[in-house]
């Protein structure tokens, strides 16, 4: 059913008007768009965004929606370095009132039950998890779910940190900010020792990071059906 829902959703296009853009940290930018009233999604899903104000070679890119459908905006957040792609240069050119096109959102990367859940974010992979925990806070479910968020950022920029800290205060969601892989793996193993295959494991980050952690989980006898992965690629 999820596959067919995605096929249907991918053909649903929305024109999104930019409300504002701003820096989350030194090289991380958030773009906030006006949301159509009838547009909904599961927190953690992604959309296909198209640059429409100019012609560029690769005008379509996937982005996790960093906001929940309970919010009044659609947010995408991305890292933009010193030598950005043509697509990211076009994003930086957007001014308030300009538009992009979005297909979706689609994907199966979202919470499905109340199992103890470990969210593992690497760098900009925090974006789908920001949407998830924000939705839990808004709906009041964060006090009932056993959610642990491990946020690894070797650059120590930790996008959304102030907001995440506030969400943690309003819910029972446990958030740890980590600066090394060693810290991350120790925290993962602590969760495994307590919950094993009774827990669900969500990983978002670079392909190498996601593959490495997924392999570590399976080596620790975590069933593949309990592991959800979302790879972020440079664009």
Residues 21 and 76 in one domain: yes
E-state strands within 83-187: 99-106, 117-122, 147-152, 174-178
Residues 137 and 52 in one domain: no
Give the pLDDT of residue 36. Answer: 86
Domain contains 159: yes
CA–CA gap between residue 186 and residue 180 (Å, rounded): 10
Residues 228, 123 share a domain: yes
Neighbours of 207 (CB within 10 A): 12
- Provide the token pair at 159: 């996008």
Do 99 and 178 fall within a single domain? no
- 48 with 84, same domain? yes
Check: CB of residue 191 under 8 Å from CB of residue 200: no
pTM as predicted? 0.92
Give the per-residue pLDDT at 12.
77
d(CA 96, CA 36): 16
Answer yes or no: is 12 within a domain: yes
Contact (Cβ atoms closer than 8 angstroms) between residue 127 and residue 67: no
Q: Is residue 112 in some structural domain? A: no
In a domain? residue 122:
yes
CATH number at residue 49: 2.40.30.10
Residue 32 in domain: yes
Query: What's the pLDDT score for residue 106?
Result: 92
Q: Does 185 map to a domain?
A: yes
**One domain for residues 87 and 185:** no
Structural domain ending residue among the three candidates 81, 106, 131: 106
Q: State the number of CA atoms in the 13 A half-sphere of 98 facing the CB.
A: 16
Is residue 210 situated within a structural domain? yes
Residues 121 and 203 in one domain: yes
Structural domain for 201, as ranges: 117-232
Check whether residue 126 and residue 208 sit in a common domain: yes
- Residue 214 belongs to domain with CATH number: 3.40.50.80
Q: Has residue 15 been placed in a domain?
A: yes
- End position of a domain, from candidates 106, 138, 163: 106
Tokens representing 57 are 């070679």
Same domain? 141 vs 71: no
pLDDT the model gives residue 129: 98
Considering the domain architecture, whether residues 92 and 177 belong to the same structural domain is answered as: no
Q: Are residues 69 and 130 in the same domain?
A: no
Q: What is the pLDDT of residue 4?
A: 45
* Tally of domains in the chain: 2
Contact 76, 49 (CB under 8 A): yes
pLDDT score, position 84: 94
pLDDT in tens, the chain (235 residues): 444 455 556 667 899 999 999 999 889 999 999 998 889 999 999 999 999 999 999 999 999 999 999 999 999 999 999 899 999 999 999 999 999 999 989 999 999 988 999 999 999 999 999 999 999 999 886 666 799 999 999 989 999 999 999 999 999 999 999 999 999 999 999 999 999 999 999 999 999 999 999 999 999 999 999 999 998 865 4
- 10 and 74 assigned to the same domain: yes
**Domain final position from 41, 73, 106:** 106
């Amino acid at each position: 059913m999820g596959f067919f829902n995605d096929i249907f959703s991918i053909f649903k296009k929305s024109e999104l008007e930019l409300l504002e853009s701003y820096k989350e940290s030194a090289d991380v930018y958030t773009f906030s768009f006006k949301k159509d009233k009838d547009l909904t999604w599961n927190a953690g899903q992604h959309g296909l965004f198209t640059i429409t104000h100019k012609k560029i070679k690769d005008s379509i890119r996937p982005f996790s929606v960093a906001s929940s459908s309970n919010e009044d905006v659609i947010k995408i957040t991305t890292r933009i370095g010193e030598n950005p792609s043509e697509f990211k240069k076009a994003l930086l050119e957007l001014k308030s009132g300009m538009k992009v096109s979005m297909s979706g959102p689609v994907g199966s990367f979202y919470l499905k039950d109340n199992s103890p859940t470990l969210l593992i974010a690497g760098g900009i992979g925090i974006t789908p998890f920001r949407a998830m925990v924000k939705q839990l806070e808004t709906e009041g479910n964060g006090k009932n779910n056993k959610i642990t968020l491990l946020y690894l950022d070797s650059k120590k920029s930790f996008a959304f940190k102030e907001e995440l800290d506030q969400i943690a205060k309003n819910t029972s969601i446990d958030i740890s900010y980590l600066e090394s892989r060693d810290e991350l793996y120790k925290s993962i193993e602590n969760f495994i020792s307590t919950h094993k295959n009774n827990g669900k494991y969500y990983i978002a980050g670079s392909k190498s990071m996601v593959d490495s952690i997924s392999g570590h989980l399976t080596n620790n006898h975590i069933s593949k059906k309990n592991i959800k992965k979302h790879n972020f690629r440079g664009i």
